[in-house]
Structure 1
Amino acid sequence: MSAEQTSTGPRILLYSDDVDAREQVRLGVGRRLGRGEPDIEWTEVATAAGVIATAEQGGLDLLILDGEADKVGGMGLARQLKDEVFRCPPVLVLTGRPQDAWLASWSNADGVVSRPLDPVELHDAVVALLRASAVAG
């Protein structure tokens, strides 16, 4: 097997109750972090219970949480995960507007991107969090 066939891409959990929002994030981030790198392994989740259960299993490199999700928003969920999940991976929160960045800091999120989502800003935030996590880990 070649090195390309044996290497795995980053494992990213994407939480939003809106299927269109999840698609927008996946398209904005892209299939991979850069040319020649392995494909991202996406795990899409539409409920807070699903996020918690999946995060507790481990094996994720990044969590992207929709701060505008109905019922349980990504910011409250981020705070809960950071408090309760051992070795919680970095969390990127998507906010409804730039003025909500202070809420993302309350949530203990490692990064924040506001809507409307700029694909370049979103991709760069994902790359920065994954690289920082790899260096720290």
Structure 2
Amino acid sequence: MQPTATVLVYSDDSNTREQVRLAAGRRPAPDVPLVEFVECATPEAVLRELDKGGIDVCVLDGEAVPMGGMGVCRQIKDEVFDCPPVLLLMGRPQDAWLATWSRADAAVTLPVDPAEFASALASLLRRKRLLSA
């Protein structure tokens, strides 16, 4: 049985969550594990899933409502012990400073570009693996 990584995807928009799943595929790069997704449509669901443990990377939609991924990112970086790396989906490249403010580990713009997204996700999965070793 092959190892898997669990990726939490937060967006109130089911189309955005689908874009993330399709862009990542089953394995975003040959040298990272297969990916399983946990989808969340509310900030409360994100916190519940993180409390359960087992999340390797979080993908947060900066355009989500009522609470954007940047605010959720900053909150979980403050409140979740050993918080997983966060990949932030931004509405505009000019929002990069907000990604820095939120303490995201990486950021890509919407709509999701499959190559850019898979590369960023694979990089965070590699980093998580190295930190866990």
Q: Give the TM-score band, short-chain normalised.
A: over 0.9
Task: Give the paired residue count.
Answer: 132
Conserved? CA contact 1:32–1:40, under 8 Å: yes
Give 1:36 deviation, angstroms.
8.5
Opposite residue 43 of structure 2, the aligned amino acid is A
Matches within 5 A, 1:2-17: 5=1, 7-17=2-12
CA distance in 2, matches of 1:37, 1:104: 25
The answer to whether the aligner puts 1:87 opposite 2:82 as a matched pair is yes
Structure 2 unaligned regions, length at least 5: none
Identity across the alignment (%): 51
CA distance in 2, matches of 1:79, 1:36: 29
The answer to whether the aligner puts 1:75 opposite 2:63 as a matched pair is no
Residue 60 of structure 1 is matched in structure 2 by: 55
CA distance in 2, matches of 1:57, 1:90: 16
User: Quick one: which of 4, 7, 23 aligns to 2:18?
Assistant: 23
User: Quick one: which of 104, 129, 132 aligns to 1:134?
Assistant: 129
Normalising by structure 1, report the TM-score: 0.91
Residue 107 of structure 2 is matched in structure 1 by: 112
CA distance in 1, matches of 2:82, 2:74: 13
SS at match of 1:130: helix
Deviates further, 34-43 or 94-103: 34-43
SS at match of 1:79: helix
Conserved? CA contact 2:32–2:122, under 8 Å: no
Structure 1 unaligned regions, length at least 5: none
CA distance in 2, matches of 1:38, 1:132: 12
